[in-house]
Structure 1
Amino acid sequence: MSFVMCTGSESTLKNCGSSGWGKSNRDHSKDAGIICSEVRLVGGSRCSGRLEILDDQSWVSVCDAAFDQQDAEVVCRELDCGAPVQVLGEDAFGKGDAQMWTQEIQCRGNESQISFCSISLSHKQSCTSDHNVGLICSGYTDAKLMNGSDSCSGRVELRFLNEWGTVCDACWDMRAASVLCRQLNCGIAVSVVGLDWFGEGSGEIWADVFDCDGNETKLSECSISSWSRAECSHRRDVGVVCSDSSLAVHDGLVRLSGERQCEGELEVSIHQVWRRVLLDSWSLTESSVVCRQLGCGSVLNFSGSSSSSPEHSHECVTGFQCSGSEAHLWNCSSPQTLNCSSTQQLSITCLGENNNIWADSSVVSDQ
């Protein structure tokens, strides 16, 4: 067979689409092989979820009292998910409908598969589905920012197991950026940028979608929801500017000062001061550039609003003119700075997946 196309739910390969049996013109140098696992994580992502193992052709859940860190090391390794970040009990990923496995797994920690571990046949736990063990693994073992002005700004590069790669901008938001800045001891994220800010990387492009709540201390603690279906290339390598970077006070950075990264009142950094932008002479064209610069997709709408930043009321800017193709607002024609005579500050709502709660940016507002 060749060109086999399955959805994953079929019970046999003959139910999948293909060019037909015996119709391939390929030789045996292209023969496919697979390795099946007797362990899986359910209810989370590929590398996180409720642990289930295959026992006599049936999937069974594992009691949290019968599982420890050494067992977790083996499961993460078998699933090609790196190392365990957290072992969770108390129904962290739901009860499921599998029967409970109550015998104790006894791994040394260096086995390649859970089936190579010993099982204590005499030691059984009294366990209910309320105590299914859950596991979070992460193959991302290191991170760095490249091609920036310092170690706290640059193109995001992550090491998955032993291989470094860049991150697609479709898979990244301000919360993940803030976790990365914290992991690198660089404060919080000031801006997420793409396109030509820090140049194109090389090698692998990681398309995992990081679902961080923003309070984690490192990226490996964030869950990974899915493998992005966005078309990614090195032209879409994402970059981050952290608050401890010298770039955090450079002209041209933008932020939306509401509670969400992709919605709020627009401010731009000019001469190391955050200035609010007025509605005068603003259009959808300029809005689209701002949404792109923030990694927030396309613009939904913009409007005028009364200022919620009285401490900046004497510092305003107007007069940006963009063609719409610019990567960031500073590539547009130069604005004018002026004393604020208008109370109509510009508010923008972007239609992007990154419209989530943003960390407080006050640490950079007065630098």
Structure 2
Amino acid sequence: MSSDVTEQKLVDGSSKAEGRVEVFHDGSWGTICDNGWDLRDARVVCRMLGFEGALDAPGSARFGQGSGDILLNLVGCDGTEGNLVDCAHLGLGVNYCGHAEDVGAIYYSGAHPNSVGVRLMGGSNGSEGRVEIRYNSTWGTVCDDSWDLQDAKVVCRMLGFGNASTAPGSAEFGEGSDDILLSHVGCDGTEDNLADCAHLGFGVHNCQHNEDAGVTCLLRVRLVGGSNDAEGRVEVLHDGSWGTICDNSWDLRDARVVCRMLGFDGVLDAQRSARFGQGSGRVFLAYVRCEGTEGNLADCAHTEIEYYRCSHTRDAGAVCYSGAHPQPFQVRLIGGSNDAEGRVEVMHNGSWGTICDDSWDLRDARVVCRMLGFDGVLDAPRSARFGQGSGRVFLAYVSCEGTEGNLADCAHTEIEYYRCSHTRDAGAVCYSGAHPNPFQVHLVGGSNDAEGRVELLHEGSWGTICDVGWDLRDARVVCRMLGFDGALDAPGSARFVHLVGGSNDAEGRVEVMHNGSWGTICDYSWDLRDASVVCRMLGFDGALDAPRSATFRQGSGRILLSYVECEGTEDNLADCAHSGIERYSCSHTRDAGAICHSGNH
């Protein structure tokens, strides 16, 4: 849409908050066709006009037929845009409509008059579950189309939690059985109620219950009653009130999560029995069971909020630290054929003891090896491969990230907290210098030799790397292995689209990857909505144009897609309607392109 479209207004409503939507272009007012028009589109207009949100997005000229040009058709907003010019559409003046299809909008100011209630169902605790909302006295689910963390944040805030950590779809917490009440929810994360967010309308959807949306909410914590800010009774915020945690099963791994949530580097102690005084509010949590590596207590196993009765005499506490651990472990390797391997033993209170192999892996052994001055680790053997120790078994459930300077900085249970047999003593095999069995890597599927999918060689075969935890630090290692100076990006989620032949990285011929090869898209039905999806896949904010007819020169590979028909709100071209891979013949003279933009239109 040209930026000449500068104004919007409502016409012929019974109040200033409703009417036919008209837009101003080239000195005249025109209307919008109702094809694809929904609450998300109306919400953008209403916010431009100073209202809080949209109640309805009527079509079929409910507020009478306009008399000017029909300027827009198939508008596709996600509901969070600041201006209609940022939404997908067919193009200015491109339509096949009559004024009997003019759109309207009904708005509101202040709180939404039809606010919804919300609850979480099917989770393992009260801070996670399938999202269900109450509307018109009926509970129903939310479809996961376009569901993301911004939407989940609003749900968590409605329930009194601090924030959201995940926004799973695909009925991760089980399928609901009631009506599906919302779809294509589009919150900006600041709303007080889901009803204030963009959505298709209550009860409007094209979903099944296997698409039910869920959330995992984060708990807010604080330490109270200690002699300094690094220690105290652990309290969590729920539903606007602070409450305590019962010390059932409370240990160092749980306290470590609390300390890291508060910005400390680790934990020294996990106090029980109201060591820092009894709280006065409610006891919210019991049987908290963290691994110690979680980012929030809500990610740990625990009972539902206030599910178990517990006295404040059992309030849990934590003692945290910053910087290096003030009481680091000493370690040694025993029973190996050389000094670079052996059973791992740690010193505690003047005695050497072993480590139980529960959850023991290469990351834990790597920390041990580096403590002993080696450069890395080759193996993390279990089951007393280097013989059984004779002292006590000090540690169990050690869980390092692999970058710690000392085992004391890793998550683990308290000293001798769990019984474990010496038949399960953990070991380590270290090395010095270069790794004796280095990986070979290469990049596949990029537009040049400096980008692509990372593959590594193992036992004669090439394989890929899962993107869980993958970031620039990992990509930097790969780039240096290949002789480059650094890494610019560390994409995951199998990014298989790029722009080729433009004058800059924001424009070009659209190419997609299929079966390891790049191919183009035929421009049959190609428009701004399709280009908008491509641009967002590449990290841009939207599309300025959807050029056709090989504007950015003809490709040389296969023509993989044709008749692509996106709504403009999808996250990936694969989610859009299309003819299928190589279903129709098409010439490269019709290769589709995109011109993207960042920031405001």
Higher relative contact order (CA 8 A, sep 6+): 1
> Match for 1:219 among 297, 304, 307?
297
1:174 corresponds to: 252
How many angstroms does 1:133 deviate by? Answer: 0.8
8 Å CA contact 1:152–1:245 kept in 2: the answer is: no
| Alignment of 1:60 onto 2:140 | yes
User: How far apart are the structure 2 equivalents of 1:165 and 1:195?
Assistant: 15
Amino acid at match of 1:76: C
| Alignment of 1:364 onto 2:408 | yes
Q: CA RMSD in A?
A: 4.7
Q: In structure 2, the residue corresponding to 1:180 is in which secondary structure?
A: helix
How many angstroms does 1:120 deviate by? Answer: 2.7
Q: In structure 2, the residue corresponding to 1:60 is in which secondary structure?
A: strand
In structure 2, the CA distance between the partners of 1:62 and 1:199, relative to structure 1 (3 Å rule), is closer
User: How far apart are the structure 1 equivalents of 2:346 and 2:284?
Assistant: 30
> Match for 2:315 among 231, 237, 246?
237
User: How far apart are the structure 1 equivalents of 2:319 and 2:162?
Assistant: 27
8 Å CA contact 2:346–2:353 kept in 1: the answer is: yes
> Match for 1:345 among 383, 391, 394?
391
Superimposed CA distance per residue, residues 310-348 of structure 1 (whole angstroms, 9 cap, x where no aligned partner): 9xx9xxxxxxxxxxxxxxxxxxxxxxxxxxxxx753569
User: How far apart are the structure 2 equivalents of 1:164 and 1:64?
Assistant: 32
How many angstroms does 1:41 deviate by? Answer: 1.1
Amino acid at match of 2:122: G
User: How far apart are the structure 2 equivalents of 1:82 and 1:161?
Assistant: 9
In structure 2, the CA distance between the partners of 1:239 and 1:53, relative to structure 1 (3 Å rule), is closer
Q: In structure 2, the residue corresponding to 1:120 is in which secondary structure?
A: coil
1:133 corresponds to: 213
Structure 2 residue runs of 5 or longer lacking an equivalent are 1-114, 329-344, 355-383, 410-601
1:83 corresponds to: 163
Structure with the largest fraction of strand? 1
Structure 1 residue runs of 5 or longer lacking an equivalent are 1-35, 251-265, 278-307, 314-342, 350-355
8 Å CA contact 2:133–2:139 kept in 1: the answer is: yes
More off after superposition, 105-114 vs 76-85: 105-114
Q: In structure 2, the residue corresponding to 1:359 is in which secondary structure?
A: coil
User: How far apart are the structure 2 equivalents of 1:194 and 1:203?
Assistant: 16
1:39 corresponds to: 118
How many angstroms does 1:62 deviate by? Answer: 1.2
In structure 2, the CA distance between the partners of 1:163 and 1:275, relative to structure 1 (3 Å rule), is farther
| Alignment of 1:144 onto 2:223 | yes
The sequence identity of aligned pairs, in percent, is 25
Amino acid at match of 1:43: G
User: How far apart are the structure 2 equivalents of 1:203 and 1:112?
Assistant: 29
How many angstroms does 1:43 deviate by? Answer: 0.5
- Number of paired residues? 245
Greater radius of gyration (CA):
2
Amino acid at match of 1:40: R
8 Å CA contact 1:104–1:123 kept in 2: the answer is: no
2:107 corresponds to: none
In structure 2, the CA distance between the partners of 1:66 and 1:172, relative to structure 1 (3 Å rule), is same
8 Å CA contact 2:249–2:289 kept in 1: the answer is: no
Amino acid at match of 1:192: A
In structure 2, the CA distance between the partners of 1:194 and 1:46, relative to structure 1 (3 Å rule), is closer
2:131 corresponds to: 51
Q: How does 1:316-331 map to 2 (within 5 A)?
A: none
How many angstroms does 1:42 deviate by? Answer: 0.8
How many angstroms does 1:202 deviate by? Answer: 3.8
8 Å CA contact 2:180–2:205 kept in 1: the answer is: no
Q: In structure 2, the residue corresponding to 1:249 is in which secondary structure?
A: coil
How many angstroms does 1:170 deviate by? Answer: 1.9
In structure 2, the CA distance between the partners of 1:106 and 1:151, relative to structure 1 (3 Å rule), is closer
How many angstroms does 1:241 deviate by? Answer: 3.9
User: How far apart are the structure 2 equivalents of 1:248 and 1:228?
Assistant: 37
8 Å CA contact 1:154–1:241 kept in 2: the answer is: yes
In structure 2, the CA distance between the partners of 1:72 and 1:135, relative to structure 1 (3 Å rule), is same
2:31 corresponds to: none
| Alignment of 1:195 onto 2:273 | yes
User: How far apart are the structure 2 equivalents of 1:203 and 1:122?
Assistant: 42
> Match for 2:284 among 203, 207, 220?
207
1:331 corresponds to: none
Instruction: Give the TM-score of the pair, scaled to structure 2.
Output: 0.33
